Amino acid sequence: MDLRYSPEAERFRKEIRRWLDESVPPAWRVPGFWLERDGTTESLDLRRRWERDRFDNGFAGVDWPVELGGRGAGHETRAVHDEEMARARAPIGPYLGLTYLGTTLLGPTLLRYGTAEQKRRLPGILSGDTIWCQGFSEPESGSDLAGLRTTAVRDGDALVVTGQKIWTSMARYGDAMFALVRTGPPDSRHRGITFLLIDLTLPGVEVRPIRQLSGSCDLGHEFLDAVRVPIEGNVVGEIDGGWEVARYLLSVERQASPIGQYVEFLHELDDVIAAARRTAKDGRPAIEHPSIRARIARCRADLELLRVRAYDTMTRLGRGEDPGSEASVTKLLWSRTRLAIADLGADVLGVDGQRSSAPAGERAGHLRWRHLQVRGQRIAGGTAQIQRTLVARDLLGLPR
């Protein structure tokens, strides 16, 4: 493990930091800024414009090929990019980043499996001209993805898609969805699945929002009723060969270094520490309570562990290795730590903090929101139980 970045990556850091200092207004860095605008057109417009500007300035898709709008940089520069974006509290990541799913998951997959025509869509993914969502999960199929039931039946030059997708992030903003559909017989499992690009404005598509515990409606439920999707240009890989494409996409997800999350969660812990300084508990500031101090220390230590794991991932990638099930350990660590920070925030605020009308609650609405919003992180991208099974099987060699 090498804990230093290359001089080239450090030069890039200076460059991106300069741009971020100019392009991310101080107001955006105030905790709660985006929460106050949750679900508004203003929020969408601000983020859309900012992402376009990022693309125009050459800071989108830093590890994508230059001819497709990227910088052709390596994984280390990508990590510096993630770190600096999080440091500046830029609107990125799975919750605020409109191009996040397209850029991190679909783009690399099209680079590997896409036809020449499909690759022409890549710059539009980076710039945010098309906002993509991921349609893998279904009401009866999440952890067991190979059991999916949304059917796609060939009719001339189109696949006619009928079924449901659910828990789709970014659904409320999405223009299009990369989805897995069943083209083989119902019991064909992973052998009868096709990876399909579906335009969400086609007739027969209905997107309904799902309200989460936090009140946010960023997730969606898609109802697909005989949607005609042209085969030309929309099937990625072979018909019935989508499992291979999906596996590649999931391996790309595994290869992301969690360094950006480390910085982001550090900010979240700082927000909790600030609240603990100003919130009284039993007649003295919460920060003076030994149990609160111990929990802060534990979260801080776990974050350092996450940082070391981020460097470990980068070192593996530098050697051309796939982190494999090591990524499950990282996912378990970051989801557990983020939840611990959010729980600590809620405990610091106490019962009063749960009331939106309470003075402390007014100032700390983002902590209350985060406490509810981050629950889903243990489920998204593979549940904690599934990750533990992978660790037990692949890393510990335990019997099944």
Ligand X SMILES: Cc1cc2nc3c(=O)[nH]c(=O)nc-3n(C[C@H](O)[C@H](O)[C@H](O)COP(=O)(O)OP(=O)(O)OC[C@H]3O[C@@H](n4cnc5c(N)ncnc54)[C@H](O)[C@@H]3O)c2cc1C
Instruction: Report the interface residues with ligand X, using CB under 6 A.
Output: 133-137, 142-143, 167-169, 219, 376, 379-380, 382-383, 385-386, 389
Residue closer to ligand X by CB (options 191, 375) is: 375
CB of 360 to ligand X, least distance (A): 27
321 annotated active-site: no
CB of 395 to ligand X, least distance (A): 16
Is there a contact between 261 and 332 (Cβ–Cβ < 8 Å)?
A: no
Q: Which of 253, 288, 326, 362 is catalytic?
A: 253
CB of 334 to ligand X, least distance (A): 14
Q: Give the position of tokens 């579906």.
A: 198
Is there a contact between 340 and 299 (Cβ–Cβ < 8 Å)?
A: yes
- The burial class, CB within 10 Å (0-12 / 13-18 / 19+), for 54 is buried
Q: How far apart are CA 98 and CA 27, in angstroms?
A: 20
- Cβ-closest position to ligand X: 142
Residue closer to ligand X by CB (options 88, 145) is: 145
CB of 339 to ligand X, least distance (A): 13
Residue 166 token pair: 């659910």
End-to-end CA distance of the chain: give it in Å, rounded: 32
Q: Name the residue among 41, 341, 376 with its Cα closest to residue 212.
A: 376
Q: How far apart are CA 195 and CA 244, in angstroms?
A: 9
Residue closer to ligand X by CB (options 24, 379) is: 379
Residue closer to ligand X by CB (options 169, 328) is: 169
CB of 220 to ligand X, least distance (A): 9
CA distances from 91 to 117, 265, 279, 359 (A): 30, 14, 28, 27
Residue closer to ligand X by CB (options 88, 327) is: 327
Active site residues: 253
